Amino acid sequence: MFQVAKATFLRNTLVMLRAYPWSFVIGHILAGVYTVLFAYFAYTHVFAGQLDDRFVRYAGSADYLSYVILGGAFYSFAVSTLMNVSRSLITELREGTLEAMLLTPSSRKGYFLGNVTQQLMRTLFEFSVILLVGRLFGLNLAGADVWSAAAVWLLSTGAFFCQALVLGSVMLRFRDTYITQNTLFVLMAFLSGVTYPTAYLPEWLQPLSQLLPLTPALEAFRHSAILGQPLSASAPQLMHMAILSAVYVAVGAVGIRRMEKRVLESIFG
Amino acid sequence: MNEWMSLLWAEIKKEHRHSFHSSLVYFSLLIWPVVMFVTAYYSFAPFRMGADSPLARFVAPGQLPLFLLTGYLGYIFFWCLVQSAWQMSFERQAGTMEMIFISPVNRLAFVYGRSLSALVEGVWLFFCFTLLAMAFVGGIHVSGWWAVPLAFLILLVSAVVWGGFLSVLFLFSRDAGFLYTVLDEPMLIFSGVRLPPLAFPFWAKLISLCFPLTYALHMVRALLMEGAELGDLWQELGLLAGVLVLLVTASVFLLKRAERHMKRTGSMVLY
Q: Compute the nearest-CA separation of B195 from chain A (Å).
A: 7
Q: Is residue B271 part of a domain?
A: no
User: B214 with B190: CB under 8 angstroms?
Assistant: yes
Distance CA A177, CA B133 (A): 31
CB within 8 Å of chain B, chain A residues 23-42: 23-24, 26-27, 30-31, 34, 37-38, 41-42
CB contact under 8 A, A20 and B175: yes
Rg (CA), chain A: 19
Q: Is residue B270 part of a domain?
A: no
Q: Which of A22, A31, A51 sits opposite B175 (nearest CB)?
A: A22
Nearest to A233 by CA among A152, A134, A122, A114: A152
Domain count, chain B: 1
CB contact under 8 A, B47 and A47: yes
pLDDT for B180-199, tens place per residue?
777 777 888 888 888 888 88
Continuous segment of H or E residues that includes residue B157: helix B147-170
User: B174 with A19: CB under 8 angstroms?
Assistant: no
With a pLDDT cut of 90, the percent of chain A lying above it is 34
Sign of the four-CA dihedral A8, A13, A14, A20: positive
Domain that holds residue B247: 2-265
A62 touching B (Cβ < 8 Å): no
Distance CA B194, CA B41 (A): 9
Across B76-104, b (16+ Cβ under 10 Å) vs e yields: bbbbbbbbbbbbbbebbeeeebeeebeee
Q: Across all residues in chain B, what is the average pLDDT?
A: 81
Distance CA A17, CA A30 (A): 18
Distance CA A21, CA B252 (A): 28
CB contact under 8 A, A196 and B42: yes
Q: Is the pLDDT of residue B244 over 80?
A: yes
pLDDT at B187: 84
Burial class (CB in 10 A: 0-12, 13-18, 19+), B11: buried
Show me where the domains of chain A are located: 2-266
Q: Is residue B234 part of a domain?
A: yes
Q: What mean pLDDT is predicted for residues A140-145?
A: 87
pLDDT for B42-83, tens place per residue?
999 999 888 888 888 888 877 888 888 888 888 887 877 777
pLDDT at A65: 92
The confidence band for A19, taking pLDDT boundaries of 50, 70 and 90, is low
With a pLDDT cut of 90, the percent of chain B lying above it is 10
Contacts of B254-259 with C-beta under 8 Å, sequence gap 24+, read B254/B168, B254/B169, B254/B172, B255/B107, B255/B108, B255/B111, B255/B168, B255/B171, B258/B168, B258/B171, B258/B172, B259/B101, B259/B107, B259/B171
pLDDT at B250: 93
Q: Is the pLDDT of residue B232 over 70?
A: yes
pTM to 2 decimal places: 0.82
Q: Compute the nearest-CA separation of B191 from chain A (Å).
A: 12
CB contact under 8 A, A22 and B46: no
Give the helix ranges, DSSP H, for B51-135: 64-86, 88-94, 96-102, 107-116, 119-132
Q: Is the pLDDT of residue B249 over 90?
A: yes
Q: Is the pLDDT of residue B24 over 90?
A: no
**How far does CA A150 lie from the centroid of its chain?**
15
pLDDT at B176: 63
pLDDT for B93-115, tens place per residue?
777 778 888 888 888 888 888 77
CB contact under 8 A, B36 and A45: no
Nearest to B142 by CA among B237, B59, B222, B232: B222
Judging contacts by C-beta atoms under 8 Å, the chain A residues touching residue B25 are 179
Q: What mean pLDDT is predicted for residues A79-93?
A: 77
Minimum Cα–Cα distance from A184: chain B residue: B32
B28 touching A (Cβ < 8 Å): yes
Q: Is the pLDDT of residue A67 over 90?
A: yes
Judging contacts by C-beta atoms under 8 Å, the chain A residues touching residue B28 are 179, 182-183
Distance CA A210, CA A192 (A): 8
Query: Is A198 or B36 the better-scoring residue by pLDDT?
Result: A198
Judging contacts by C-beta atoms under 8 Å, the chain B residues touching residue A22 are 175, 177-178
State which of A108-117, A254-263, B62-71, B209-218 shows the largest mean pLDDT: B209-218
Q: Is the pLDDT of residue B156 over 60?
A: yes
What distance, in Å, lies between the first and last C-alpha atoms of chain B? 36
Q: Which of A21, A30, A47 sits opposite B182 (nearest CB)?
A: A30
CB contact under 8 A, B28 and A59: no
Distance CA A158, CA A45 (A): 38
Q: Is residue B79 part of a domain?
A: yes
Distance CA A122, CA A129 (A): 11
pLDDT at A207: 92
State which of A15-19, A152-156, B118-122 shows the largest mean pLDDT: A152-156
Minimum Cα–Cα distance from A197: chain B residue: B46
pLDDT at B175: 64
Nearest to A82 by CA among A174, A169, A149, A17: A169
Q: Is the pLDDT of residue A267 over 70?
A: no
pLDDT at A122: 79
pLDDT at A115: 80
Q: Is the pLDDT of residue A2 over 70?
A: yes
Minimum Cα–Cα distance from B192: chain A residue: A38
Judging contacts by C-beta atoms under 8 Å, the chain B residues touching residue A43 are 47
Q: What mean pLDDT is predicted for residues A33-53?
A: 87
Q: Is the pLDDT of residue A64 over 90?
A: yes
Q: What mean pLDDT is predicted for residues A206-220?
A: 94
pLDDT at A239: 95
User: B41 with B63: CB under 8 angstroms?
Assistant: no
User: B160 with B112: CB under 8 angstroms?
Assistant: yes
Q: Is the pLDDT of residue B271 over 60?
A: no
> Could you give phi then psi for residue B229, rounded to 5 degrees?
-85, 160
Report the SS3 class of residue B47: strand
User: A235 with A221: CB under 8 angstroms?
Assistant: no
